[in-house]
Amino acid sequence: MNTRYESAKEIFAAYGVDTDAAIAKLKNIPVSLHCWQGDDVIGFDNEGGLTGGIQTTGNYPGKATTPEQLLADMDKVISLCPGAKKLNVHACYAIFEEGEWVDRDKLEPKHFKKWVEFAKERNMGIDFNPTFFSHPMQKDGLTLSHPDADVRKFWIEHGKACIRIATYFAEETGVPCVMNIWTGDGFKDVPADRMGPRMRYKESIEEILSEPFDFAKVKPCVESKVFGIGVESYTAGSAEFTLSMAAMHKDKCLPLMDNGHYHPTEVVSDKIPALLCFFPEIALHITRGVRWDSDHVLLLDDETKEMAKEIVRCDALDRVYMALDYFDASINRISAWTVGFRSWQKALLTALCTPNAMLKKLQDESNFTELMVMQEDMKMLPFEDVWAKYCEECGVPANHAWFAEVKKYEEEVLSKR
């Protein structure tokens, strides 16, 4: 008897798509799983309280408050998601020994040893982020662009420390470490000087990048943002600023686009191929904004699928560093994490099973009528059966069956916290 997968495979083959090859390919594409969904972006080096223009909303019980809890929760997520993973760690998640603490400008590789052990045991690389928020040295909402040189110096030292830690991650795991620079620097209301803070921001980033590192191992990025809560009128790290920064320092850093960080009718799916014309490599933060940069859990919606399609169509799976960036505190956090990771996997698999060569040909021959007809047809192909096969091969449930595991974990572990 024909299984559902075999029948789907035939349907896709008729369009020139090899579903076995798509499944095999996806298994080896790493996606970075952000540690900060587990505890509402708090970390372990501060008393709690998120600042810097980002916010979590909700108070669902059972959040991780210790490294042990966070790592156990992450492990649960990893066990429920198909595909290759990388860890994405923020500097505020340094794990100190009992009674030990150092400030962010003094962080060392040893403070991240537990992350390395965790990653190595699971065969994963690690990405990293200096934390330029939730800290008293973020003064007047500013860090690397502050007019006070002492404030800037503290944060430059933090950035340099993070480059050294990123090198440690890359050397220990054997996988390049993407190190993303994002600050919430900006102003609530109309500024009197827009260029000054940007010039200071530019010089500060250049100083951070003057710390010696091997660009084959450490991939510094600059992430832009259009506005944040409390910084509605101006951000120092605007899109033009970060893109120019990356373009002018191509041998030292990459542009990072977060799809929550643009005006609502702009789409990152269209920006990916634009940047790929110029940059050998780019980085992404994948999220879902609802009316604003709200960092809702990623779902399999149209723009999510479109972004994945562009990466695949441009044959750029090895040129785009993909990281998830959402945080919802209003629902079970393990479930939120898992839904988001699985959504991006579904989007990638869908993209890999799309007959891109055939569609491109229609476009190049100016067959726009047929292109529309075919693109609409593609939406109804039996992706579900390919997804089920992929999940089976990865040893995870294909449908909501994984949620029973989360409920059990909530009863046995989370509810006792």
Q: Which residues bind Zn ion (CB under 5 A)?
A: 258, 285, 325
Task: Give yes or no: 295 in active site.
Answer: yes
The reply on whether position 182 binds ligand RNT by CB under 6 A is yes
Question: For 228, which DSSP code?
Answer: B
Write b or e for each residue in 129-159: b if 16 or more Cβ atoms lie within 10 A of its Cβ, otherwise e. bbbbbbbebbeebbbbbbeeeebbebbbbbb
The answer to whether 202 touches 210, Cβ cutoff 8 Å, is no
Task: End-to-end CA distance of the chain: give it in Å, rounded.
Answer: 49
The reply on whether position 297 binds ligand RNT by CB under 6 A is no
- Where do we find the tokens 């309280």? 49
Which tokens go with 364?
């190049």
The answer to whether 316 touches 280, Cβ cutoff 8 Å, is no
Among the listed residues 40, 185, 211, 325, the single catalytic one is: 325
Instruction: Please report how close the Cβ of residue 369 comes to ligand RNT at its closest, in angstroms.
Output: 40
Instruction: Please report how close the Cβ of residue 222 comes to ligand RNT at its closest, in angstroms.
Output: 11
Task: Give yes or no: 285 in active site.
Answer: yes
Report which of 208, 98, 231, 223 is spatially closest to residue 162, judged by C-alpha positions. Answer: 208
Task: Give yes or no: 223 in active site.
Answer: yes
Instruction: Please report how close the Cβ of residue 325 comes to ligand RNT at its closest, in angstroms.
Output: 5
**Distance of alpha carbon 370 from alpha carbon 368, whole angstroms:** 5
Q: Which of 5, 12, 36, 112 binds ligand RNT (CB under 6 A)?
A: 36
The reply on whether position 285 binds ligand RNT by CB under 6 A is yes
Instruction: Please report how close the Cβ of residue 325 comes to Zn ion at its closest, in angstroms.
Output: 4
Contact track, ligand RNT, 102-131, x by CB under 6 A: ---------------------------x--
Which tokens go with 363?
């476009």
Is the CB of 34 or the CB of 160 nearer to ligand RNT? 34
Return phi, psi of residue 321, to 5°: -85, 120
Number of residues near ligand RNT (by CB under 6 A):
11
Among the listed residues 115, 182, 344, 387, the single catalytic one is: 182
What are the helix and strand counts (H, E) for the chain? Answer: 14, 12
> Using only C-alpha atoms, what is the Rg of the chain?
22
Report which of 175, 70, 88, 189 is spatially closest to residue 131, judged by C-alpha positions. Answer: 88
Task: Give yes or no: 185 in active site.
Answer: no
Instruction: Please report how close the Cβ of residue 215 comes to Zn ion at its closest, in angstroms.
Output: 22
Residue 16 neighbours by CB under 8 Å, 6+ apart: 355, 357, 358
Among the listed residues 73, 157, 223, 281, the single catalytic one is: 223
Is the CB of 41 or the CB of 126 nearer to ligand RNT? 41
The reply on whether position 325 binds ligand RNT by CB under 6 A is yes
Which tokens go with 27?
């298994």
The reply on whether position 288 binds ligand RNT by CB under 6 A is no
C-alpha 87 chain-centroid distance: 10
The reply on whether position 45 binds ligand RNT by CB under 6 A is no
Contact track, ligand RNT, 51-70, x by CB under 6 A: ---x----------------
Residue 290 neighbours by CB under 8 Å, 6+ apart: 296
Task: Give yes or no: 258 in active site.
Answer: yes
Among the listed residues 146, 219, 285, 346, the single catalytic one is: 285
Which residues are annotated as catalytic? 182, 223, 225, 258, 261, 285, 293, 295, 325
Q: Applying CB under 6 A, which residues contact ligand RNT?
A: 36, 41, 54, 129, 182, 223, 225, 258, 285, 293, 325
